Amino acid sequence: MSKNLTPVAVVHAAIADYRAMDAAHRVALNQHADDDGDIPESDLPAYDEDRFTYALEADEQLDAVMSALTGAFGLPTDRPVTVVGQWHRTFEVTPGRLDDTAREAFTSGQCHAFALALNEVTGWPTTALLTSDCFGNDSMCTGVDEDECPCRIGHVVVTRPDGTHVDITGAHTPGAVPDCEDAPALAMTTEHWKAIQSTPTWRDADMPLARTFVRPLLAELDAAPVALPA
């Protein structure tokens, strides 16, 4: 689906694509039926396998459609949307509303999404704040130095040109990010990003939602700059 389509064209393309997929699925499934429209017991395993395959295809198309609709229309700002956090938690967050719920969601599972969104706008480099231990039992640990092991990444922030660490809760002097006090800092590399983006330990980054909080946070930072210690 082209990114240059108008919002109405995005909807019409989604409808047309769905109808084409649905028709193909129906034709294929009908081939399993007998003259009475029933599925013979001997053909049920193949029929069920095809239905499963088509259900996965429909899920993929739904994801693509929702992504296209979000790009064309944006997220709603008059109601909460659901975002997935760590430990299978979900949060109901209103896009663009920088409140306690948004701060909790983007420090409890979606910090990497906000760091990426902030990096997109400002160009400030992303930085990992590390936990104390590497237990060596994560797929991210393979073949890397323990001191730089991606499984030790506990929080992702950006580093402002003045040296402060910035996340959705604001700007903080190094070593003073809430819940990450005195955590060692490590510049995020392409390899680190690949590692956390390819493991189920980290949630998929909810970029459309994260992007809605960048401007509100930057406005807050402009209004209340952080004074670095001498």
pLDDT tens for 22-63 read 999 999 999 999 999 999 999 999 999 999 999 999 999 999
Cβ burial 6-26 (10 Å sphere, 16+ → b, else e)? eeeebbeebeeeeeeeeeebe
- Model confidence pLDDT, tens digit, residues 84-134: 999 889 999 999 999 999 999 999 999 999 999 999 999 999 999 998 876
Residue 84 pLDDT: 96
**Three-state SS for 91?**
strand
Residue 200 pLDDT: 79
DSSP letters for 119-162: HHHH-PPEEEEEPS---S-SGGGTTS-GGG-GGGEEEEEEE-TT
Asked whether the predicted pLDDT for residue 230 surpasses 50, the reply is: no
Q: Give percent above pLDDT 70 in the chain.
A: 89
9 vs 148 pLDDT, higher one: 9
Task: Name the pTM for this structure.
Answer: 0.86
Are 54 and 29 contacting, i.e. CB atoms less than 8 angstroms apart? yes
Provide the pLDDT confidence category of residue 140 given band limits of 50, 70 and 90.
Answer: low
Instruction: Measure CA 49 to chain center.
Output: 30
User: Given 3-state DSSP classes, what are the helix, strand and coil percentages for the chain, each rounded to the nearest 5?
Assistant: 50, 15, 40
Residue spans of the domains in the chain: they are 7-73, 96-223
Average pLDDT, the chain: 90
One-letter amino acid identity for 202? Answer: W
Torsion angle of the four alpha carbons 98, 101, 102, 107, in this order, in degrees rounded to the nearest 10: 130
Residue 8 pLDDT: 94
Lowest mean pLDDT among 112-126, 139-153, 201-215: 139-153
Provide the pLDDT confidence category of residue 171 given band limits of 50, 70 and 90.
Answer: very high
